[in-house]
């Protein structure tokens, strides 16, 4: 089964509007030379206040609008109401988003997000017609004590609970070992592939083989232009969630180009 790769840039709490616009313009400039079929699915997750700025860079001629999707970095599961500081799926959709990143380890760690909240968010995103990018991953301590697989399998089962196989099939999971995020220490590609294959088997268990074959599972954690080729050559790694290296168009474009060498047939 061939799954279209995804290269997603998580800009986290970085880049002011003008900076976001200029990085986006740099990516747009690169993708214009390729067709949407040649390119991986490209997703950019700016801060909320920059979503409209990057959207304004897109044009209607098909040269970029269909090639670069925009994502929210978080959302609330309710559609509106007294939730100061939160943003709904409908609001993200209204701003132009097609994807929403949920359950990032930074949100779990600093904002006490639980598996239950992530499950509610995933359901709200799918009900709103957007695609969740559900993050999971273990700490170094958990890895060293040998509980990586059971921990991640628990996170995935909780996040997908009560979601139909059809909706699971179109969702995206990002495996991001916490010790590899922003540290420069990339997880060995064979090991990342092993964990991702394990996640796929969990998806098969909860939603069946069609969903397991269709769902795209990404690796994240210090992905760089120099690491992506090996990562993308592995059987179960369907793309990358990129933090630091997505903040500059040059390195993000290089990641896209290197992905195309291995996975998109260019
Ligand atoms: P990093 O971040 O590429 O800077 O390690 C990845 C992420 O947190 O999504």
Quick one: average pLDDT of 128-148?
98
Q: Evaluate if residue 244 carries a pLDDT over 80.
A: yes
CB 217 within 8 A of CB 200: yes
Which residues in 122-215 belong to E strands, given as ranges?
131-136, 172-175
pLDDT in tens, 199-233: 999 999 999 999 999 999 999 999 999 999 999 99
Mean pLDDT, the chain, whole residue set: 95
Query: Ligand 1 atom closest to Cα of 182?
Result: 5
Q: How many CB atoms lie within 10 A of CB 219?
A: 30
Cβ atoms of residues 260 and 266 within 8 Å: yes
Give dist(CA 42, CA 101) in Å, integer. Answer: 14
Token pair of 110, please? 């600093």
Written as one string, the DSSP assignment of 19-64 is: HHHHHHHHHHHHHTTS-TTTSPEEEEE--GGGHHHHHHH--TTSSS
Q: Is 220 in the pocket of ligand 1 (CB under 6 A)?
A: yes
Is pLDDT at 266 greater than 90 in this prediction?
no
CA distances from 201 to 153, 173, 227, 238 (A): 9, 13, 25, 15
Q: What is the DSSP letter of 245?
A: G
Decide if pLDDT at 61 tops 70. Answer: no
Give the pLDDT score at 263. Answer: 83
pLDDT band at 167 (very low <50, low <70, confident <90, very high): very high
Residue 96 to residue 149: CA distance in whole angstroms:
36
Find out whether the beta carbon of 211 lies less than 6 Å from any atom of ligand 1.
no
Active site residue 229: no
Sign of CA dihedral 61, 67, 68, 70: positive
Q: Is the pLDDT of residue 164 over 80?
A: yes
Q: Please tell me the predicted confidence (pLDDT) of residue 151.
A: 98
- Asked if the model's pLDDT at residue 265 lies above 60, the reply is no
190 C-alpha to ligand 1 centroid (Å): 19
Is the confidence at residue 10, as pLDDT, over 80? yes
What local confidence, expressed as pLDDT, does residue 60 receive?
66
Which domains does the chain possess? 6-264 (3.20.20.70)
Directed axis angle between helix 115-127 and helix 148-160, to 10°? 40
- DSSP E strands: which ranges in the chain? 6-10, 41-45, 68-72, 97-102, 131-136, 172-175, 216-220, 239-242
Q: Is residue 264 over pLDDT 70?
A: no
Of these residues, 104, 106, 113, 138, which one is catalytic? Answer: 104
Handedness of CA 137, 12, 60, 125 (dihedral sign): positive
Give dist(CA 102, CA 94) in Å, integer.
Answer: 18
Residues 97-135: tens digit of each pLDDT: 999 999 999 999 999 999 999 999 999 999 999 999 999
What is the predicted pLDDT for the residue at 83? 98
Taking residues 55-59, report their average pLDDT.
85
Share of the chain above pLDDT 70, in %: 96
pTM: 0.97
Q: How far is the CA of 113 from the centre of ligand 1 (A)?
A: 18
Over residues 192-203, the mean pLDDT reads 98
Length of the chain: 266
pLDDT mean over 224-249 = 97
Q: Is 171 helix (H, G, I), strand (E, B) or coil?
A: coil
Tokens 């939160």 belong to 86
Using an 8 Å Cβ cutoff, are 196 and 156 in contact?
no
Please check the confidence at residue 162 and state whether its pLDDT lies above 60.
Answer: yes
- Ligand 1 atom closest to the Cα of residue 106 is 8
Q: Give me the catalytic one of 106, 113, 138, 176.
A: 176
Residue 2 confidence (pLDDT)? 85
Q: How high is the pLDDT of residue 124? A: 98
Q: What percent of the chain has pLDDT over 90?
A: 92
The verdict on whether 76 is a catalytic residue reads no
């Amino acid at each position: 089964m061939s799954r279209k790769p995804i290269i997603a840039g998580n800009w986290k709490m970085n880049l002011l509007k003008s900076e976001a616009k200029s990085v986006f313009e740099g990516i747009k400039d690169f993708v214009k030379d390729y067709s949407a079929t040649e390119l991986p699915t490209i997703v950019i997750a700016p801060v909320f206040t920059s979503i409209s700025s990057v959207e304004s860079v897109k044009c209607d001629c098909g040269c970029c609008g269909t090639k670069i999707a925009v994502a929210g970095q978080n959302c609330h599961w309710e559609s509106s109401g007294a939730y100061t500081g939160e943003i709904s799926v409908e609001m993200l959709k209204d701003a132009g988003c097609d994807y929403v990143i949920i359950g990032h380890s930074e949100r779990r760690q600093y904002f006490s997000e639980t598996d239950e909240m992530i499950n509610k968010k995933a359901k709200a995103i799918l009900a709103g017609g957007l695609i969740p990018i559900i993050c999971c991953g273990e700490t170094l301590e958990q890895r060293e004590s040998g509980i990586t697989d059971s921990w991640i399998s628990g996170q995935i089962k909780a996040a997908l609970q009560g979601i139909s196989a059809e909706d699971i099939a179109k969702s995206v999971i990002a495996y991001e070992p916490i010790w590899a995020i922003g540290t420069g220490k990339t997880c060995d590609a064979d090991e990342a592939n092993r964990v991702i294959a394990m996640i796929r088997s969990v998806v098969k268990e909860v939603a069946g083989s069609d969903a397991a074959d269709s769902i795209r599972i990404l690796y994240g954690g210090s992905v760089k232009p120099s690491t992506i080729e090996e990562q993308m050559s592995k059987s179960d790694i369907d793309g990358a969630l990129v933090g630091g290296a997505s903040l500059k168009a040059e390195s993000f474009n290089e990641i896209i180009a290197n992905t195309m060498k291995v996975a998109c047939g260019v």
